[in-house]
């Protein structure tokens, strides 16, 4: 070589999504990582000193949160303002009675009774697994 620096390849991120290779350029990568804010590429002099990293695989991690105080029964997943699957509400607007446990979880009365009858040894709340006791 005659001392001239070789051109560096465009920065990119290799992503494998279900066995499909995808290359993402630095503009898309910047938008994905920084919420649309674009950062300019480093100057050539700075690029020569920077370490180049190629991501070969990536495993995304997600977290979720169970919202226990929602408007649905945790057993049948039907709305509290309606009937449970076991209840035979004849008139629209009739509600299946609701019951609360000492653990503060709420269920349709028919759903929790069916759940408790299916428990072999001890009767536990289906949400938090504490011993079930009806709130008075």
Q: What is the 3-state secondary structure (H, E, C) of 96-132?
A: CCEEEECCCCEEEHHHHHHHHHHCCCCCECCCCCCEC
Name residues whose C-beta falls within 8 Å of residue 97's C-beta, 6 or more positions apart in sequence.
108, 109
Local mean pLDDT, 10-residue blocks, the chain (136 residues): 56 48 56 55 57 77 62 85 75 73 89 89 88 88
Is the domain of 109 the same as that of 122? yes
Among 25, 40, 62, where does a domain finish?
A: 62
**Tell me, what's the pLDDT at 5?**
59
pLDDT, residue 72, reads 86
- Within this chain, do residues 38 and 71 fall inside the same structural domain, yes or no? no
Residue 7 confidence (pLDDT):
59
Whether 50 and 110 map to the same domain: the answer is no
Do 58 and 78 lie in one domain? The reply is no
Burial zone of 66 (CB within 10 Å; 0-12 exposed, 13-18 middle, 19+ buried): exposed
pTM attached to this predicted model: 0.46
- Provide the domain count of the chain: 2
Which of these three, 62, 89, 104, is where a domain ends?
62
Q: In this structure, are 46 and 96 located in the same domain?
A: no
89 and 57 both lie in a single domain: no
The residue range of the domain holding 116 is: 66-136
What is the structure's pLDDT at 17?
A: 47
Residues 75 and 129 in one domain: yes
Same-domain pairing of 56 and 85: no
Same domain as 51, residue 70? no
**Strand duo 106-108 + 20-25: pairing:** unpaired
pLDDT confidence of residue 19: 44
* CATH number assigned to the domain comprising residue 85: 3.30.40.10
């Amino acid at each position: 070589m005659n001392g001239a620096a070789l051109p560096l390849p465009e920065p990119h991120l290799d992503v494998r999504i279900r066995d499909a290779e995808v290359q993402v350029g630095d503009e898309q990568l910047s938008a994905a990582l920084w919420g649309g804010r674009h950062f300019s590429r480093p100057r050539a002099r700075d690029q020569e000193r920077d370490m180049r990293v190629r991501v070969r695989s990536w495993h995304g991690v997600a977290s979720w949160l169970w919202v226990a105080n929602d408007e649905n029964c945790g057993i049948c997943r039907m709305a509290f303002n309606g009937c449970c699957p076991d209840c035979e509400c004849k008139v629209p607007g009739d509600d299946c009675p609701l019951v609360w446990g000492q653990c503060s979880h709420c269920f349709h009365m028919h759903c929790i009774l069916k759940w408790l009858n299916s428990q072999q040894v001890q009767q536990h709340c289906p949400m938090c697994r504490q011993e079930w006791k009806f709130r008075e």
